[in-house]
């Protein structure tokens, strides 16, 4: 594979997205997770356009609006369920219109799952539900030729697992101690 300047710029844009994604899941506040995820998805939407991966680009574009809306709704303690359903359906419709092949189904299904997770105020649940989403994007990035995307999802998986261990498990253990529930480990 020979890389030209166009390819290098496309991959560089993706690496900007990588940095933004790593930061996103280390945030403790829902709003900050959503802001960094929106920035990440903007970078990858641009990269996917350059790579001709239009389903990924379109879905990431819609995700930016979803993320920012959810950040605002969760911050104001407003319900997100109606928007979760609307965005989930919209992702499927957009995915159908940009369909290039069966592997697009991975991200078409991943986006509704991330939509339901990002509509939650509990960042522990956001991180947990983000694991299968990340695996789906890892495969999609491989097929799209996004080196940055592959690395991003590898880092995302490490970042998610790190945050779950660093932030979520201590909270879970503390909650169990407070409620007196038995924890076998």
- Nearest-10 Cα torsion for 67, 70, 72, 76: -160
Q: Is residue 80 part of a domain?
A: yes
User: Domain for residue 128, yes or no?
Assistant: yes
In this predicted structure, the answer to whether residue 183 has a pLDDT above a threshold of 70 is no
**Model pLDDT, residue 153:** 87
DSSP state of 26: T
Identify whether 55 is part of a domain.
Answer: yes
Residues 6+ apart with CB under 8 A from 70: 30, 34, 80, 83, 118, 119
> Is position 182 within any domain?
no
- By the 8 A CB rule, do 117 and 144 touch? no
Residue 141: which domain range?
A: 5-173
Structural domain contains residue 140:
yes
- pLDDT single digits (tens) 121-152: 788 888 899 999 999 999 999 999 999 999 98
The domain total for the chain is 1
In a domain, 183, yes or no: no
Tens-place pLDDT, residues 58-97: 999 999 999 899 889 988 999 889 999 999 999 999 999 9
Asked if the structure places residue 30 within a domain, the reply is yes
Q: Is residue 180 in some structural domain?
A: no
């Amino acid at each position: 594979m020979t890389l030209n300047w166009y390819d290098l710029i496309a991959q560089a844009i993706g690496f900007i997205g990588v940095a933004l994604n790593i930061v996103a899941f280390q945030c403790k506040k829902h709003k900050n997770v959503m802001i960094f995820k929106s920035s990440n998805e903007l970078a990858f939407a641009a990269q996917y356009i350059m790579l001709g991966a239009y389903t990924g680009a379109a879905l990431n574009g819609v995700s930016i609006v979803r993320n920012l809306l959810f950040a605002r709704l969760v911050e104001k303690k407003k319900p997100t369920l109606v928007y979760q359903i609307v965005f989930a359906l919209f992702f499927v419709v957009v995915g159908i219109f940009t369909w290039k092949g069966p592997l697009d189904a991975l991200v078409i299904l991943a986006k509704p799952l991330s939509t339901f997770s990002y509509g939650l105020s509990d960042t522990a649940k956001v991180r947990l539900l983000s694991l299968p989403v990340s695996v789906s994007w890892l495969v999609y990035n491989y097929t799209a030729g996004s080196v940055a995307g592959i690395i991003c999802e590898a880092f995302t998986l490490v970042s998610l697992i790190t945050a779950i261990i660093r932030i979520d498990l201590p909270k879970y253990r503390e909650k169990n101690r407070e409620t007196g529930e038995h924890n076998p480990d």
